Each structure stands twice: as C-alpha cells, then as structure tokens.
Amino acid sequence: MTTIKADDYERIVFFTGAGMSAESGVPTYRGRGGIWNQYRWEEYACQEAFDDNPEKVLQFHELRRQSVLACKPHPGHFVVANLAKKHPGVAVVTQNIDGMHQRAGNFEVIEMHGSLWRVRCPIHGIADEPDEKYKSFRCEQCGNWLRPDIIWFGDMLNQDVIHEATRIIRQCDLFISVGTSGAVWPAAGFPKIAKEQGARCIEINPEANDMSSIYDENLREAAGNALPKLFE
Ligand code: APR
C-alpha cells in the first residue's frame, strides 16, 4: 500500500464524513445501519420538524449525544490529530457533527454541518453544550426553544464556513477524503476542486460511489486501518 510522508506536502486537507467515525461506533447516515434508514429525517432533522415538535427533535439529538459520548476516537482519528499538531499545513474539513476529531486532539476543525455540541437561541445566539444531557431545552434567559446548531435538511449552509473550506482546498497539494458517500452538496464537489488545483487526491472508503473516479487513488479500506498505514 502507498505510504505518505506528510513533510513532502505543503498543505494537506483531510475531508471527512460519517465513515470516519464508523469504527468508533457512531452510525453513518446511509448504507447498512444508517441513521436515515432507521429514522425519517423529515421527523428529526429539518426546521419543519423542529417547529412542529421541538421536544421530540431535541430528545433525538440528546440521544445522539449520549451515543456519541459512549464512543471513543479510533487510531485513524489520532493519526489526523497528531499530523494536525505537527504539520502547520494540515487542515481538517468535516461534515461530521460528532466532535470526534477534536476528542482525539485539541485542534481546530472546519465543521461544515455544525455541531451536536452547540445550541442556538433565536435571540441570545450560540452556546456550547458539551454534556451528555442538555442543561435545558429552553433558553434560560428568554424561554425560547434551543435549536441544535446543526445544518439540517433544507437549511442554508454557513457561507463563511464554506468559503473558508473552499479557500483551503484550493491551496492544498494533498487531499484525502475519508468515509463520505459524496451524496451531499456542496461537500461532494470538494474533491473536484482539489483535483482541478492539481492536488494529489486519495479516497479512503471501503465502498465506491459516484465521486470515486475523481480520485487518483482509491483505498478500499476502513479509516482506522488505512490512515495509520498511509502515514506510518
Ligand atoms: N471507513 C471509511 N469509510 C467508511 C467506513 C469506514 N470504516 N464505514 C463506512 N464508510 C463509508 C461508507 O461506504 C459511505 O460511503 O462512509 C460513507 C458514509 O456515507 P454517509 O452515511 O452518506 O455520510 P456522509 O457522506 O458524511 O453524509 C453527508 O449527509 O445526512 C447528511 O448532514 C449529514 O453530514 C451528513 C451528510
């Protein structure tokens, strides 16, 4: 299998999706065991669902927080976290809301789809919510329901976050995608941007998808096996 010396590259982007956390025990969204096979996103992951029944949506997200906290980062998370600490040109762009990258090492991650660990009051803004249980479903100051600070189906993406992710990907010379089905835009277009910039593009995913042909190399392995071998 290919091995990579991180120092041979100036700017490295790890672009991760739900498959990055799968070996930690966090379910993916699609495919076998996928969250959207078990739960209808229309009832749990869109603004309309929250407006109809905020309590049900918050309970679902509280359950997700508990199940994520019961999981631990795997060796692949530690490879990425250690590289991010050592190499000034490493950036992590994730579609994941689970915070698993950060738990492997305290470093900055561009979170495209928000975070399970934040809530948003329409009046008092965003607050961190790092614990298993929400302190309260309602804002202590104004009584409004607190909405998970997550990009749900039908939501606008945070344009500042997308610009920052795109800017970084335009500069990279190595782009490594890990565990994404390439089904959700604009994230699905990121490998193409990297490729057009001339970056070496590597996909780590046990299964092929519509975006796989863009990559220079496809490593059909699980993240927790592939990442430690790639950067040994
Ligand atoms: N290692 C690497 N990849 C894996 C592993 C693993 N151990 N296990 C599964 N995968 C791959 C699957 O083959 C699949 O291609 O991870 C991918 C997971 O795909 P999705 O569940 O669609 O997750 P993702 O691409 O992150 O979804 C994007 O969709 O519902 C929204 O907002 C949600 O951020 C999410 C977005």
CA distance 185 to 182: 8
Instruction: Count the neighbouring beta carbons within 10 Å of the beta carbon of residue 205.
Output: 25
Digit-coded pLDDT (tens) for 155-213: 999 999 999 999 999 999 999 999 999 888 888 899 999 999 999 999 999 999 999 99
6 burial via Cβ count (<10 Å: 0-12, 13-18, 19+): middle
- Taken in order of first residue, the domains within the chain and their CATH numbers are 1-25+72-113+157-232 (3.40.50.1220), 27-70+115-150 (3.30.1600.10)
- Residue 2: predicted pLDDT: 85
Average pLDDT over residues 120-147: 95
Ligand 1 site, residue 223, Cβ cutoff 6 A: yes
User: Which of 92, 97, 184 to mutate to test ligand 1, by most ligand atoms within 8 A of the CB atom?
Assistant: 184
Ligand 1 site, residue 23, Cβ cutoff 6 A: yes
- Residue 31: predicted pLDDT: 82
Beta bridge partners of 12: 90, 174
Digit-coded pLDDT (tens) for 15-43: 999 999 999 999 999 888 899 999 999 99
Instruction: Count the neighbouring beta carbons within 10 Å of the beta carbon of residue 56.
Output: 12
CA distance 32 to 199: 32
- Residue 168: predicted pLDDT: 97
pLDDT greater at residue 184 or residue 50: 50
Ligand 1 site, residue 98, Cβ cutoff 6 A: no
Catalytic residue from among 74, 77, 113, 124: 113
* DSSP reduced 3-state for 28: coil
- Supply the pTM of this predicted model: 0.96
Instruction: Count the neighbouring beta carbons within 10 Å of the beta carbon of residue 156.
Output: 7
Q: Is 74 annotated as catalytic?
A: no
- Residue 185: predicted pLDDT: 87
The region that residue 154 occupies, defined by phi over 0 for left and psi between -120 and 50 for alpha, beta otherwise, is left
Ligand 1 site, residue 172, Cβ cutoff 6 A: no
- Ligand 1: nearest atom to the Cα of 95: 34
Phi, psi of 105 (to 5 degrees): 170, 140
**Ligand 1, atom 32, residue with closest C-alpha:** 113
Phi, psi of 119 (to 5 degrees): -130, 165
Q: Where are the beta strands (DSSP E) in 31-189?
A: 90-94, 110-111, 114-121, 125-128, 147-150, 174-178
Q: Which two tokens stand for residue 129?
A: 């919510």
